[in-house]
């Protein structure tokens, strides 16, 4: 399964009011593991940046003067996204901006829905943690993801952090790290653990429970059956076998 964890920064809050994307960042996961492949571009929006947006990401129009325009990187972006599952925090916002940018391109119109499926990690977090703060910083704290380098929003940094948070939220976290050396060391440790966990050659020893252990097990199954109104799947499975 190929996933792209994606984030954008923009000139303002409303794509329908002509605001534009000024930064896109995305990191690739395959089968829930980082591949090291990513997409990152700053873009010339050809318009001013709202003061409120500037306070969020700190990217000035002057900084973007020599960067490419969206239409110049669109083909590369489309090929990077095609066929993937996008993981985006507050997906309607970023998808709306991407679709608005695609609509400005010449030729046949393309939409995010034609290229990918989308998972909204904010909606997922709200389901898992109702009534709690579910912004990226709050989720980093909740799942022990180091976001100490996040003074301002940045599309690539935020997509890297979100990838770690998303993997933690959905089970089986893989620590991506923000540096190549840290990531390589983590991968090496994971490979070492995987090798040490390989099953040894030959038959595995079978250790029978003691009388006391068997009685305690049956008592526990009785407790489960009582709380489940007579149904115990472990006991049903023993009967079926």
Nearest to 97 by CA among 36, 194, 16, 200: 16
159 and 87 Cβ atoms separated by less than 8 Å: no
Compute how many other C-beta atoms are within 10 angstroms of the C-beta atom of residue 198.
7
- Please give the positions annotated as active site: 153
What is the C-alpha to C-alpha distance for residues 167 and 30, in angstroms, rounded to an integer?
12
Helix residue ranges per DSSP H, the chain: 51-57, 70-81, 91-103, 112-115, 121-128, 136-142, 155-169, 180-196, 211-227, 233-240
Residue 10 host element (H or E): strand 2-10
Q: Phi and psi at residue 93, in whole multiples of 5°?
A: -65, -55
What is the C-alpha to C-alpha distance for residues 166 and 119, in angstroms, rounded to an integer?
10
Indicate the DSSP class of residue 21: E
What is the C-alpha to C-alpha distance for residues 58 and 165, in angstroms, rounded to an integer?
24
């Amino acid at each position: 399964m190929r996933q792209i964890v994606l984030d954008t920064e923009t000139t303002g809050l409303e794509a329908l009011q002509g605001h534009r994307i000024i930064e896109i960042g995305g990191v690739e996961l395959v089968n829930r593991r980082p591949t090291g492949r990513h997409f990152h571009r700053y873009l010339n929006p050809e318009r001013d940046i709202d003061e409120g947006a500037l306070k969020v990401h700190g990217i000035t129009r002057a900084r973007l003067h020599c960067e490419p325009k969206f239409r110049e990187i669109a083909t590369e972006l489309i090929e990077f996204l095609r066929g993937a599952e996008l993981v985006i925090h507050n997906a309607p916002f970023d998808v709306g901006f991407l679709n608005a940018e695609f609509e400005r391109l010449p030729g046949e119109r393309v939409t995010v829905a034609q290229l990918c499926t989308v998972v909204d990690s904010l909606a997922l977090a709200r389901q898992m943690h109702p009534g709690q703060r579910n912004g990226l910083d709050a989720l980093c704290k909740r799942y022990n993801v180091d976001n100490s380098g996040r003074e301002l929003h940045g599309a690539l940094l935020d997509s890297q952090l979100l990838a770690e948070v998303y993997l933690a939220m959905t089970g089986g976290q893989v620590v991506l790290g923000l540096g190549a050396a840290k990531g390589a060391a983590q991968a090496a440790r994971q490979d070492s653990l995987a090798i040490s966990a390989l099953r040894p050659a030959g038959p595995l020893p079978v250790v029978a429970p003691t009388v006391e252990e068997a009685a305690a097990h049956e008592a526990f199954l009785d407790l489960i059956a009582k709380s489940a109104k007579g149904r115990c799947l472990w006991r049903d499975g023993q009967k079926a076998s």
